[in-house]
Structure 1
Amino acid sequence: MSPDVWVSVVATLVAIVSAIFSIRSSRLSMRPVLSVWRDKKAESYQYYLSNKGNGPAIIDEVKVFIDNKEVVAPPEILFNESLKKLFRDNKKILPKINGSSFFGKGHPFGKDESKLIIDFTQIIDNDTSEIIDGTISLEKMLKQIKLTVFYRDMFDEKWHTVFDKHGRKVSRSWGDV
């Protein structure tokens, strides 16, 4: 094989590998991650949504479902109303909301940016025998929540991500969620 042919083959292989990496990179433009921080002493919980992808994204809509029923509320109070609705029937565990965020249409979400979704403190009834049962109940209650984020990546492709008790599911289409 002559040197010219060898150089051509190597250049072609490099171009193919570069194209593959470029395609993979575009799929990771926005990679949403839901994280939970818990302070055991204060019994407080902080939920964050982070963008761990290679680029920015634009949030189009955020939906919250409890037991597969959508929580209908204005975007600025969606997370507060969701938490109140979740705890409405439970008298032993009451949340004290310390803060929440607003994710409205057109909200920019930068690379490596984290936004607080909601920060709340768990208040348990004075009966100390309920603390263990209360914590177990809280975990069961939080598994009823499903968070769906609709967004566009830097290539203007539409995506949605669903966070539920089974983990995270990313999908390119905006079909029925």
Structure 2
Amino acid sequence: MLESALGFTVWASGQAYAFLSQQGAEFFISILAIVLAVWSGRQSSRHAGLSVLPAFSVWVEYPREQNRECLIKLANKGFGPAIIDETLVFYNGCRVEGFQFTAIEGAIRSAFSDDIEDVYEAAEAGVGHAIGVNEEVTLVGFTIKNEVTDANVEDFGARLQTLSFRLKYRDIYQRSWQFYVHNSIGRTLRVNSPRFILALITKWRFPRR
């Protein structure tokens, strides 16, 4: 049986060589053109996918002297809209239950305790909500007591670092992504990508559900 298989392989190779030997230069040029067209199409598709990627950023506007207001903002600094699937808020690594606006307010009140004066604004970005390019969302706005504004910035920042945020979203090609903010560091990972799987394997210190 092995000899039969080898014989067929030799015969098929000979037939293929004979066929290719009979073709003119036009045949090989056509094959090359097809290969280039496929490659170009894949590159164009890849470029189109990259050109519409959302890219999120979170920052804090700290209170200063007589200004006791603090704002935590989220913005889409990328090239395409993001469709929200889920937003999760954590305090000290534990998820704060409830709607987004109640979860954020609860986490802020837990972090600052009696030093907080008022939480006057909290965002709610529900499932299916789209955040457009260059759109900014105030996640939470609050005022704190004078004693806290007079304290050092490191103490204020340490309180904020007890908070974590995770945003699950899709781009317009329906690819799923996750944006994390933990210990004041933000990371974006595509769901089920090699980096995402590596993050799960190495157990990056992002809070879980």
Pairwise TM-score range, normalised by the shorter structure: 0.7 to 0.9
Tell me the equivalent position of 1:136: 154
- Structure 1 residues 84, 25: closer, same or farther in 2, change over 3 A? farther
- Structure 1 residues 142, 76: closer, same or farther in 2, change over 3 A? closer
List alignment gaps of at least 5 residues for structure 1: none
- Structure 1 residues 21, 43: closer, same or farther in 2, change over 3 A? farther
The alignment covers a number of residue pairs equal to 162
Report how far residue 24 of structure 1 moved.
5.0
List alignment gaps of at least 5 residues for structure 2: 1-28, 193-199, 201-206
Superposed structure 1 runs of 4+ greater than 4 Å apart: 14-22, 174-177
Tell me the equivalent position of 2:180: 162
Aligned-residue RMSD, C-alpha: 3.0
Tell me the equivalent position of 1:45: 70
Asked whether the 8 Å contact 1:87–1:95 carries over to 2, the reply is no
Equivalence map 1:1-177=2 (5 Å)? 12=36, 19-20=42-43, 22-23=45-46, 26-27=49-50, 29-41=53-65, 42-88=67-113, 91=114, 93-125=115-147, 131-132=150-151, 135-165=153-183, 167-173=185-191, 177=208
Asked whether the 8 Å contact 1:94–1:123 carries over to 2, the reply is yes
Report how far residue 78 of structure 1 moved.
2.0
Residue type of the partner of 1:29? Answer: L
Distance 1:166 1:125 in 2: 23
Higher Cα radius of gyration = 2
Report how far residue 150 of structure 1 moved.
0.5
Distance 1:86 1:171 in 2: 27
Helix, strand or coil at the partner of 1:103:
coil
Distance 1:21 1:33 in 2: 27
Asked whether the 8 Å contact 1:73–1:81 carries over to 2, the reply is no
Question: Quick one: higher RCO (CA 8 Å, sep 6+), 1 or 2?
Answer: 1
